[in-house]
């Protein structure tokens, strides 16, 4: 098969690593990809939102499958255009993609189809948003309505910070994504990321993990796109998995199909495991980043048949995926200043060392300069991942690799997996 993989982050590097290991693959092309992905793919410099350019590339390489990594490509309508041009595509249409691209849409969707989530208010200007705070207790959760790369959420401990966050959002901090703001009830509980595949009709669970959203150890600092993950995570008891499937994932697939937009791809259910059961924090219409990295390390089955089955309506014929018994950990190395002002250009040495078969270093935001020196180019720069029979061993292996990489301008959290390991 010839596969076009769209995206350039750590998630896409992990997907490339797993797809390239499939005996079904003849040619794997990534657009635009990143320097680390050159080990698994041909790289072509077409942006993830250049829909016409990507369809032309799919034609040029006679792609049997287009795999969409990031939400920006979903929102740009890549699946719609690829399908219209006759390509099998793993990734939902832009209409189904509203489950991520508009938090206001998703809240109304939850009301319409009875999915459990927090109380909320959608506000179109700062005065309305500040008035809406009266209906909530601190800490206040303030979210930009649109796509903000995981950085559009502020948890404000008091009213003054909440009002400042509202002024920031309407002052243009998130661009068009902040034209509306959603204020939400703060949910008490433990957070988790569960993944489910769907081919438009049939759905199937596809793993779970726990992320660390705050920038610094001890869950302090600003919210980020995710600073590290581990899987399996104890928050996912059999009851939480089953209730999340039954109350959130399956009703979402049924609801979006009833809306006329059958879902083909992976749905990421970010949930809060509360005393009253799992409640939706948000949906994402793609694999999580860096959740995908630990899932790919643990996935024993060939990934490609699942991607094809979702794209072609054949998931009903597939067995549940097989997972290794190993635990996996991913530590994100970010550029100093992330998430607000990441410092670009820092030199990185040693990322391509051979750390053994159970360690993978996925590139997320890197670029090679003219002299061939690898440099930071973005907020989250490297994802250092390891697997081992126990979570503690996996974490030790991941941090040993982190410590062997020379990235003076970088930082990472040192407590990934703390809820399981202390
Ligand atoms: N790790 C959270 C996300 O991918 O949005």
Q: Which of 317, 337, 359 is the last residue of a domain?
A: 317
Q: Which residues line ligand 1 (CB under 6 A)?
A: 150, 211, 225-226, 284, 288-289, 291
Over the stretch 213-245, which tens digit does the pLDDT of each residue have? 999 999 999 989 999 999 999 999 999 999 999
| Atom 3 (ligand 1) nearest CA | 288
Over the stretch 142-167, which tens digit does the pLDDT of each residue have? 999 889 877 788 999 999 999 999 99
Residue 363 is assigned to a structural domain of this protein = yes
Domain of 213 in residue numbering reads as 190-317
pTM: 0.96
Let me know whether 58 and 155 are in one domain.
no
Tokens found for residue 123 = 């506000």
The domain tally of the chain equals: 4
| Atom 4 (ligand 1) nearest CA | 288
Let me know whether 178 and 200 are in one domain.
no
Let me know whether 306 and 195 are in one domain.
yes
Distance 86 CA to ligand 1 centre (A): 30
Q: Which of 260, 292, 317 is the last residue of a domain?
A: 317
* Dihedral sign of CA atoms 65, 69, 75, 76 in order: negative
Let me know whether 313 and 201 are in one domain.
yes
Let me know whether 74 and 139 are in one domain.
no
Let me know whether 194 and 307 are in one domain.
yes
CATH number at residue 410: 3.90.600.10
Indicate whether 172 pLDDT > 90: no
Ligand 1 atom with least separation from CA of 284: 5
Contacts of 413 (CB under 8 A, 6+ apart): 212, 215, 216, 217, 227, 228, 331, 332
Reported confidence tier of residue 321, pLDDT bands at 50, 70, 90: very high
> Strand pairing partners for 368?
374
Contacts of 341 (CB under 8 A, 6+ apart): none
Section 264-286 average pLDDT: 97
Residue 104 is assigned to a structural domain of this protein = no
Distance 289 CA to ligand 1 centre (A): 5
Q: Which of 296, 317, 338 is the last residue of a domain?
A: 317
CATH number at residue 52: 3.40.50.20
Residue 98 is assigned to a structural domain of this protein = no
Reported confidence tier of residue 333, pLDDT bands at 50, 70, 90: very high
Distance 62 CA to ligand 1 centre (A): 31
């Amino acid at each position: 098969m010839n596969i076009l993989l769209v995206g350039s982050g750590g998630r896409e590097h992990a997907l490339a690593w797993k797809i390239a290991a499939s005996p079904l693959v003849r040619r794997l092309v990534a657009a635009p990809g990143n320097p680390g992905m050159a080990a698994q793919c041909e790289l072509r410099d077409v942006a993830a939102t250049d829909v016409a350019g990507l369809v032309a590339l799919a034609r040029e390489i006679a792609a049997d499958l287009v795999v969409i990594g990031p939400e920006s490509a979903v929102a740009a309508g890549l699946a719609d255009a690829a399908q219209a041009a006759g390509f099998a595509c793993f990734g939902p249409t832009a209409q189904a993609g509203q489950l991520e691209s508009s938090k206001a849409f998703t809240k109304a969707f939850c009301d319409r189809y009875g999915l459990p989530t927090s109380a909320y208010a959608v506000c179109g200007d700062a005065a309305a948003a500040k008035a809406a705070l009266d209906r909530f207790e601190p800490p206040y959760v303030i979210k930009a309505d649109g796509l903000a790369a995981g950085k559009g959420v502020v948890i404000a401990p008091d009213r003054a910070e909440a009002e400042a966050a509202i002024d920031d959002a309407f002052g243009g901090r998130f661009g068009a994504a902040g034209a509306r703001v959603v204020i939400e009830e703060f949910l008490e509980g433990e957070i988790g990321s569960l993944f489910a595949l769907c081919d438009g009709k049939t759905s199937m669970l596809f793993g779970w993990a726990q992320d660390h959203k705050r920038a610094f150890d001890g869950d302090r600092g600003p919210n980020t796109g995710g600073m590290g993950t581990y899987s399996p995570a104890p928050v996912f008891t059999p009851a939480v998995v089953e209730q999340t499937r039954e109350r959130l994932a399956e009703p979402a697939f049924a609801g979006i199909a009833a809306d006329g937009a059958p879902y083909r791809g992976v749905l990421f259910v970010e949930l809060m495991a509360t005393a009253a059961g799992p409640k939706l924090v948000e949906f994402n219409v793609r694999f999580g980043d860096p959740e995908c990295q630990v899932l790919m390390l643990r996935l024993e089955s060939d990934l490609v048949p699942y991607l094809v089955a979702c794209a072609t309506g054949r998931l009903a014929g597939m067995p549940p995926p097989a997972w290794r018994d190993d635990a996996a950990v991913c530590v994100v190395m970010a550029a100093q200043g992330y998430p607000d002002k990441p410092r670009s250009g820092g030199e990185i040495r040693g990322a391509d060392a051979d750390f053994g078969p159970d360690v993978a270093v996925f590139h997320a935001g890197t670029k090679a300069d003219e002299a061939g020196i690898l440099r930071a180019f973005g907020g989250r720069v490297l994802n250092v991942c390891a697997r081992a029979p126990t979570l503690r061993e996996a974490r030790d292996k991941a941090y040993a690799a982190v410590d062997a990489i020379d990235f003076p301008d970088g930082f990472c959290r040192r407590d990934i997996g703390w809820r399981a390991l202390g």
